[in-house]
Chain A
Amino acid sequence: MQLSHPRLAWSLTRREAAWAYAFIAPWLIGFVVFTVGPMIASLYFSFTDYNIVDTPRWIGAANFVNLFRDELFWRSLGITLKYAAFVLPLGLVISYLVAVLLNQKVPGVNLWRTVYFLPSVVAGVAVALLWSRIFDPKFGILNPFLALFGIKGPGWLSDPDWAIPALVIMSLWSVGGSIIIYLAGLQGVPTDLYDAAKVDGATTWQRFRHVTLPMTTPVIFYNLVLGLIGTFQFFTEVYVLTGGAGGPARSTLFYNLYLYQNAFKYFHMGYASTMAWVLFTIVLGLTLLIFRSSDIWVYYEGQLKGR
């Protein structure tokens, strides 16, 4: 009764809002200091000549003009997109299929899951070093394995044509992270849908095609978007495998590696900021493209309820 009093209710709402903002304050402050502020600053830097020691000097759009004339910029963009064109579809298909298999009632399923997720917890420098040894044409294990099938393996990381495929193979080994997410998605499909399909006489394939696949499109979508962003962040493995140079013959000069070189090797902070904003624009554009297309192929359960 008392609560309905307008002034008291007003002050209670205000108090609640004050508590809310007090609790989210750490993120709000961090958001301003470590996200909004730096984003504005890097946009400003992208129009300057800046070497971190001297104050930034405004040079207008010169960085952008130079960037679009920079052969290495185009090369690094091409390498990144080429890698993405292999890794995203292959990674999606493989990790989805593995998740479907791991969702079956097979003997020892928990052991298998443990094995498949293992690579995703050990990612980083150690694994990159391991793969540098696996790819070694003479003392590695990949080429002897291929030789069992009569295939003469290439020089992998020492061959400009095979360095990217090598990185793709290495990345596919550690798709465990997306398998976990797909598995969670598969487990979220309501069993009554399968029961209904069975009653209607659907075969295993039809149940997969018309129940499993549509119900898990949101998860596929989520993995695709994060995978795309991840590709443009690709750095550690290629830095470790090439000693930061992007070799051989700059065949693995990924976008993020070239950006790193500009910023922290040559201290062209302005130019690197330009690269960062161009990258941001590209990723945003591609993400929006995926989002746009999602109307066609992503199925949300909520949509049905809404109609």
Chain B
Amino acid sequence: MDTVATPVTAVPARTRPFSDWLTGLQGQALLLKSITTLVIAAGAAVIMVPLLFMLATSVKDRDQLRQSPPPLIPMAAVTVEVNGEQEPLYRVTMDGQTREMALIKNRPQGKGLFVDPANPDQTYELVIAEQTQIKRLEIHWENYAEALSQMKFNSLLLNTLVVTFAGMAGMLFSCSLVAYGFSRFRAPWINVLFLVLLSTIMLPGQVRLIPTYVFFNKLGWVDTLLPLIVPQFFANAYDVFLLRQFFMSIPLELDDAAKIDGASPLQVLMYVILPQARPALVTVAIFHFLYAWNDFYEPLIYLHSPQNWTLAVGLQTFNALYAVNTHYIMAASVVMILPPIILYFLAQRIFTQGVVFSGVKG
């Protein structure tokens, strides 16, 4: 009976006027969804436009940089040779006809002298604003090669990679051990120590900065990469917390099975916990990469000679020295943000699903 009744009620629903439908529940939901999507899209445009501007600026030449306002697509004026000089070409409307003409001279009141390149002796005085300048896409990829060689990119990249990956190895090694210790063992004071560890997240780094600098200075490590790498071997609160949360979700039965087979606690970590925790390890590794790659404060303090700089410091100095070369600065900046972006797209799920932050709540 019900199956017959359904199409019958659907007929009057369809014949209802649109305004009725719009104020109905279904219509409201659709309207709300459309507005939501529009707002989200507008916000997304706000985020993307600066990045497009960066990319566009990185492939412009000096003349294109002087365009104000700057086009988001790198355009350049088309020129034509008139009497031995390059003049900008315009699409000119005259007597109802459209012709291509070159602007050879500016006149008062926004007017200009135009000529047909084929017949340069005949000039026409026209209002410039009423004509459209002919532009074409002009992309200078060579800016990249030029920028990278000017800033001595290879040495900067090498230092950054050493700092990033040596530090990552140290972080993964130490944080796995510490997170394992905090997740699987009972010991006096261990919970208090875990709270102490967590509280260091809120500690402003400045209170330990200067003595740490003095300490590394005494060791003769200032102006080497070591102060950026070695502390990573002593674990940090964020990553220990994340790994511990994950380790806690691995069933204890797995540990017990291994223990019955005679595995030591270290073997349990290596052969049971770590293989299970691969997603969490990948996550903290990615976050470490982003942190180390973008870090500026510590490299700025510890690295003095140009041959020891990381990309962040090198790029900042490159800008300080050659700020006028905006196209080169932006090209170098694009190269600097490319690895994080590629990594981000490869590991998108980790960010968009927010899996790792499930432990944050409460």
Identify 5 new A-B residue pairs, CB closer than 8 A, beyond the known A26-B235, A106-B36: A17-B187, A38-B211, A122-B294, A147-B69, A302-B362
Chain A: minimal CB distance from B327 (Å): 10
Docked-complex contact A112 and B44, CB < 8 angstroms: yes
A239 to B315, CA, bound (A): 13
Closest to A18 in B: B187
Query: Which one, B41, B209, B293, B326, contacts A276 given CB within 8 A?
Result: B209
Question: At the interface, yes or no: A150 with Cβ under 8 Å from chain B?
Answer: no
27 contacts between A and B (CB under 8 A): A17-B185, A17-B186, A17-B190, A19-B185, A20-B182, A23-B265, A24-B182, A27-B235, A31-B196, A38-B207, A101-B36, A105-B33, A112-B40, A112-B41, A121-B290, A121-B341, A122-B337, A125-B294, A126-B333, A129-B329, A129-B333, A229-B202, A232-B204, A264-B301, A276-B209, A279-B207, A300-B362
Instruction: List residues of A (191-224) whose CB comes within 8 Å of B's CBs.
Output: 204, 218-219, 222
Mark the stretch among B85-93, B106-114, B134-142, B348-356 that contacts chain A.
B348-356
Residues of A within 8 A of B (CB): 13, 16-17, 19-31, 33-35, 37-39, 41-42, 45, 52, 98, 101-102, 104-107, 110, 112-119, 121-127, 129-134, 138-141, 143-144, 147, 173, 180-181, 183-185, 187-188, 204, 218-219, 222, 225-226, 229, 232-233, 235-236, 239-240, 243, 256, 259-260, 263-264, 269, 272-273, 275-277, 279-280, 283, 287, 300-302
User: Which residues of chain A have C-beta atoms less than 8 A from B193's C-beta?
Assistant: 24, 28
Check B37 against A52 for contact (C-beta < 8 Å): no
Interface-located stretch among B51-59, B75-83, B94-102: B51-59
Whether the pair B320, A243 counts as a contact (CB closer than 8 A) is yes
| Interchain CA distance A243-B196 in the complex, whole Å | 37
Residues of A within 8 A of B185 (CB): 16-17, 19-20, 23
Chain B nearest CB from A271 CB (Å) reads: 10
Tell which of B1-9, B173-181, B248-256 binds the partner: B173-181
Q: Which residues of B are found within 8 Å of A37, using beta-carbon distances? A: 211
Q: For window 182-205 of chain B, which residues contact chain A by CB distance below 8 Å? A: 182, 185-188, 190, 193, 196-197, 200-205
A138 in contact with B36 given A117-B352, A118-B47 (CB within 8 Å): no
Q: Are B234 and A27 in contact (CB under 8 A)?
A: yes
B130-157 at interface with A (beta carbon < 8 Å): none
Give, as a whole number of angstroms, the nearest-CB distance from A306 to chain B.
12
Nearest-CB distance from A183 to chain B (Å)? 5
Q: How far is the CB of B41 from chain A (nearest CB, A)?
A: 8
Q: Does B361 contact A (CB under 8 A)?
A: yes
| Contact flag A52-B214 (CB < 8 Å), given A24-B182, A243-B320, A280-B207 | yes
Main secondary structure of the interface of B (DSSP, over half): helix
Q: Is B330 an interface residue (CB 8 A)?
A: yes
CB-based contact B204/A133 at 8 Å: no
The residue that B210 contacts in the complex, of A117, A233, A273, A300, with Cβ under 8 A, is A273
Contacts of A256 in B (CB 8 A): 206
Name the one of B32, B202, B215, B330 contacting A225, with C-beta atoms under 8 angstroms. B202
B161 lies within 8 A of chain A by Cβ: no
Q: Does B319 contact A (CB under 8 A)?
A: yes
B69, B206, B337 pick with most chain A CB within 10 angstroms = B206
- How far, in Å, is B352 (CB) from chain A's closest CB? 4
Residues of A near B69 (CB, < 8 A) are: 141, 143-144, 147
CA of A260 to CA of B206, assembled, Å: 9
Given contacts A23-B180, A218-B361, A222-B360, contact A263 B209 (CB under 8 A): yes
In the complex formed, the residue of A with least CB distance to B326 is A133
How many Å lie between the Cα of A235 and that of B300 in the bound state?
Answer: 11
A3 to chain B, nearest CB (A): 14
Is A26 a contact partner of B174 (Cβ separation < 8 A)?
A: yes
| Cα separation A144 to B33 with both chains bound (whole Å) | 32
Bound-state Cα–Cα, A124 to B294, Å: 5
Chain B residues in 8 Å Cβ range of A204: 32
Kindly provide the distance from the CB of A132 to the nearest chain B CB, expressed in whole angstroms: 8
Q: Is B296 an interface residue (CB 8 A)?
A: yes
Would you call B57 and A279 a contact (CB within 8 A)? no
A41 to B332, CA, bound (A): 40
- Among B47, B182, B196, B319, the residue within 8 A (CB) of A115 is B47
Closest CB in chain B relative to A58 CB, distance in Å: 16
